[in-house]
């Protein structure tokens, strides 16, 4: 029986120039687990919203043609109130999905609306919390939960509606590696207990292979591929072309011209690595010479938001001019706090901060902004102008620079960012990747010597992530010191020379990226995991390679001499 059946679905949002979905046909059987992948703007979220009935019932569109039948209900004719008893949907941003104050009340909200009796509500909440491993936290305030717990609570609060279909629309994107892993674990266990149908949009293909039994690739509102995970992930070149990332081990085997079925996870890769693939000793790339001028010095810094609760404890850190630093750690480990202190968004409770030797602890952000540029995770925090060009001009205008100088800077930045063609567009209507570029640009025109990127790639597809990071690399090559906060470990592995691990407000690791990612066990203590290819190369060859590129350049295929 098909639990979801979509026929010739065309969706065009209000004011949109093109269709978000263009002729989707899809049948999903009861109990199937589907992974949906595709670049940003492919229509993944729209498809999820259509299945949940939010489109066209809540979000109005100019055009909604075709049919979406969910559990026998035609979504166009039913209300969300009715459909939500069959479909539970969870979104990326856990902050805006939680609106009650305690865990118990959040999970009970749905069943309360159903008008069930209290005993049944309590039972459902208890089960939902058990499935999401939140038992015992009923009385906790939701703001006191970690990011991963918040997202699990968002899942619990739809599971308490007992849906037969669960839709996760990039529910893991904002989470640290272990937070993601826990979500996958609870989903796997849930599948064992209930015949629930699962639809998940996720960019982390290496992980979802363990869960989904069918993958759909969307691009430009159309279904491009639909098949078994192995079949889809083996189309390495096609996926990369679209800006998607197949599992790293799959890409590796493909590029080594492996002629049998590609592995799609670490275990398969380790078992199937041909014995004639020999690895050369690791040749470190030429070590970049930094000036020995410290750009940032953090000296004995402590910070607290509430009395006696330290968000940062005794931080001592030197970052040299021209370095590219990765700042990683669990959600809530203090990464953003540290970055805010460096940028002057807040002053530390105790301790000193120096920039290029000058004590700036008490300096206002107004002054410090000329040295440190800060790009927020949410580009909407910065953007307000009518056109992209005006947005870029804003900073230099405030500094009252001469007109020619402003023109020169804006032109240069637009060229670096490759946004010349959208110079006169309204940034509000750009997609997130482009808004993020505009936000970066608006900081760059101030010519900062240090730039901090606070999770710049959250919610972007791997292809777009790469573009933003390439940009950061170009800036770094021009001499700008870059600090990036991210949960994408492959980003750190490929771009950052030094990695700092924060855990519960303390610096736990501070070393070259390779050394940090070599210590798998230690990382796990801090809820982190190295990229798949690094884990694979350590386990198989005993050497930590940081990218597919790197491992390929170190492999020799030993021809069998007797043959």
Torsion (CA) 225, 456, 55, 39 in degrees, nearest 10: -20
Whole-number Å distance between alpha carbons of 358 and 30: 64
CB of 236 to another protein, least distance (A): 34
CB of 552 to another protein, least distance (A): 41
- Does residue 495 interact with another protein by CB under 8 A? no
Among 139-147, 187-195, 283-291, 549-557, which window interacts with another protein (CB under 8 A)?
Answer: 139-147
- Does residue 380 interact with another protein by CB under 8 A? yes
Site for another protein, residues 414 to 433, rule: CB under 8 A: 428
Q: Please state the φ and ψ torsions of residue 164, each to the nearest 5 degrees.
A: -90, -10
Alpha-carbon Rg for the chain, nearest whole angstrom, is 25
One of 365, 416, 520, 552 touching another protein (CB under 8 A): 365
Contact 239, 245 (CB under 8 A): yes
Site for another protein, residues 103 to 122, rule: CB under 8 A: 104-105, 108-118, 121-122
One of 185, 213, 394, 423 touching another protein (CB under 8 A): 394
- Does residue 378 interact with another protein by CB under 8 A? yes
One of 154, 156, 342, 492 touching another protein (CB under 8 A): 154
CB of 392 to another protein, least distance (A): 10
Give 39 or 448: the residue with its C-beta nearer to another protein. Answer: 448
Which residues make beta-bridge pairs with 35? 200, 215
Contact 39, 242 (CB under 8 A): yes
Give 3 or 215: the residue with its C-beta nearer to another protein. Answer: 3
Give 246 or 396: the residue with its C-beta nearer to another protein. Answer: 396
Give 87 or 548: the residue with its C-beta nearer to another protein. Answer: 87
Alpha-helical segments (H) within 317-430: 335-343, 365-368, 388-398, 403-417
One of 179, 344, 351, 505 touching another protein (CB under 8 A): 344
Quick note: the x/- pattern for another protein over 442-471, rule CB under 8 A, is: xx--x-------------------------
Which residues make beta-bridge pairs with 152? none
Contact 159, 90 (CB under 8 A): no
Contact 212, 200 (CB under 8 A): yes
Site for another protein, residues 55 to 94, rule: CB under 8 A: 58-59, 79-81, 84-85, 87-89, 91, 93
Among 199-207, 361-369, 414-422, 525-533, which window interacts with another protein (CB under 8 A)?
Answer: 361-369
Closest to 290 measured CA to CA, from 317, 255, 319: 319
Quick note: the x/- pattern for another protein over 252-291, rule CB under 8 A, is: ----------------------------------------
CB of 442 to another protein, least distance (A): 6
Quick one: how far is CA 350 from the chain centroid?
32
Among 135-143, 276-284, 474-482, 541-549, which window interacts with another protein (CB under 8 A)?
Answer: 135-143
- Does residue 41 interact with another protein by CB under 8 A? no
- Does residue 205 interact with another protein by CB under 8 A? no
Contact 28, 19 (CB under 8 A): no
Neighbours of 418 (CB within 10 A): 11
Question: Is the peptide bond preceding residue 56 cis, with omega within 30 degrees of 0?
Answer: yes
End-to-end Cα spacing for the chain: 54
- Does residue 485 interact with another protein by CB under 8 A? no
CB of 471 to another protein, least distance (A): 19
CB of 378 to another protein, least distance (A): 7
Give 87 or 266: the residue with its C-beta nearer to another protein. Answer: 87
Interface with another protein (CB under 8 A), residue total 77
Whole-number Å distance between alpha carbons of 482 and 324: 5
One of 240, 299, 345, 538 touching another protein (CB under 8 A): 345
User: Coil, strand or helix: which one is 416?
Assistant: helix
Among 354-362, 367-375, 413-421, 490-498, which window interacts with another protein (CB under 8 A)?
Answer: 367-375
Q: Please state the φ and ψ torsions of residue 310, each to the nearest 5 degrees.
A: -90, 120
Contact 29, 47 (CB under 8 A): no
Site for another protein, residues 288 to 307, rule: CB under 8 A: 305-306
Site for another protein, residues 211 to 230, rule: CB under 8 A: none
Whole-number Å distance between alpha carbons of 230 and 108: 39
Neighbours of 266 (CB within 10 A): 18
Quick note: the x/- pattern for another protein over 174-203, rule CB under 8 A, is: ------------------------------
Six-digit token pair at 13?
A: 């949002």
Question: Is the peptide bond preceding residue 465 cis, with omega within 30 degrees of 0?
Answer: no
Which residues make beta-bridge pairs with 500? 327, 510
One of 143, 231, 358, 522 touching another protein (CB under 8 A): 143
- Does residue 135 interact with another protein by CB under 8 A? no
Whole-number Å distance between alpha carbons of 223 and 383: 33
CB of 364 to another protein, least distance (A): 8
Contact 240, 246 (CB under 8 A): yes
Neighbours of 111 (CB within 10 A): 22
CB of 198 to another protein, least distance (A): 16
- Does residue 161 interact with another protein by CB under 8 A? yes
Contacts of 119 (CB under 8 A, 6+ apart): none
């Amino acid at each position: 029986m098909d639990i979801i059946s979509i026929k010739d679905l065309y969706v065009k949002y209000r004011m949109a120039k093109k269709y978000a979905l263009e002729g989707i046909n899809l049948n999903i059987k009861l109990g199937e687990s589907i992974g949906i992948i595709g670049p940003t703007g492919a229509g993944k979220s729209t498809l999820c919203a259509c299945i949940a009935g939010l489109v066209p019932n809540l979000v109005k569109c100019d055009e909604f043609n075709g049919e979406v039948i969910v559990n026998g209900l035609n979504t166009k004719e039913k209300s969300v109130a009715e459909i939500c008893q069959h479909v539970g949907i969870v979104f990326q941003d856990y902050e805006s999905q939680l609106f009650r104050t305690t865990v118990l009340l959040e999970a009970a909200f749905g069943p309360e609306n159903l008008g069930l009796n209290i005993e049944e509500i309590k039972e459902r909440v208890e089960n939902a919390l058990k499935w999401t491993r939140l038992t015992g936290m009923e009385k906790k305030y939701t703001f006191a939960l970690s990011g991963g717990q918040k997202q699990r609570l968002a899942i619990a609060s739809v599971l308490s509606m007992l849906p037969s279909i669960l839709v996760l629309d990039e529910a893991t994107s904002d989470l640290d590696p272990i937070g993601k892993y826990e979500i996958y674990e609870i989903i796997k266990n849930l599948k064992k207990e209930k015949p629930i149908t699962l639809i998940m949009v996720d960019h982390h293909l290496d992980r979802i292979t363990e869960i989904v039994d069918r993958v759909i690739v969307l691009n430009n509102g159309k279904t491009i591929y639909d098949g078994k995970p192995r079949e889809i992930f083996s189309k390495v070149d096609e996926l990369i072309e679209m800006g998607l990332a197949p599992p790293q081990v799959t890409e590796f085997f493909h590029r080594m011209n492996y002629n049998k079925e590609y592995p799609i996870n670490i275990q398969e890769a380790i078992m199937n690595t041909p014995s004639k693939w020999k690895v050369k000793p690791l040749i470190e790339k030429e070590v970049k010479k930094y000036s020995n001028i410290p750009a940032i010095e953090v000296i004995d810094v402590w910070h607290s938001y509430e009395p006696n609760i330290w968000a940062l404890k005794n931080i001592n850190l030197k970052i040299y001019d021209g370095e590219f630093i990765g700042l990683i750690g669990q959600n809530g480990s203090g990464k953003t706090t540290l970055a805010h202190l460096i940028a002057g968004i807040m002053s530390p409770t105790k301790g000193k901060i120096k920039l290029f030797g000058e004590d700036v602890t008490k300096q206002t952000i107004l002054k410090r902004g000329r040295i440190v540029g800060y790009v927020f995770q949410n580009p909407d925090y910065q953007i307000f102008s009518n056109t992209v060009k005006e947005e870029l001009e804003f900073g230099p205008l405030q500094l009252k620079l001469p007109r020619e100088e402003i023109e020169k800077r804006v032109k240069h930045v637009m060229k670096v960012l490759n946004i010349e063609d959208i110079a006169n567009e309204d940034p509000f209507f750009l997609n997130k990747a482009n808004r993020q570029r505009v936000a970066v640009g608006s900081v760059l025109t101030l010519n900062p010597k240090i730039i901090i990127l606070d999770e710049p790639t959250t919610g972007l597809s791997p292809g777009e992530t790469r573009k933003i990071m390439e940009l950061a690399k170009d800036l770094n090559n021009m001499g700008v010191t870059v600090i990036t906060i991210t949960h994408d470990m492959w980003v750190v592995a490929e771009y950052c020379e030094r990695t700092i691990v924060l855990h519960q407000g303390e610096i736990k690791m501070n070393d070259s990226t390779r050394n940090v990612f070599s210590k798998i066990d230690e990382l796990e203590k801090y809820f982190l995991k190295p990229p798949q290819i690094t884990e694979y190369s350590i386990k198989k060859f005993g050497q930590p390679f940081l990218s597919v590129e790197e491992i390929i350049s170190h492999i020799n295929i030993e021809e069998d001499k007797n043959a």
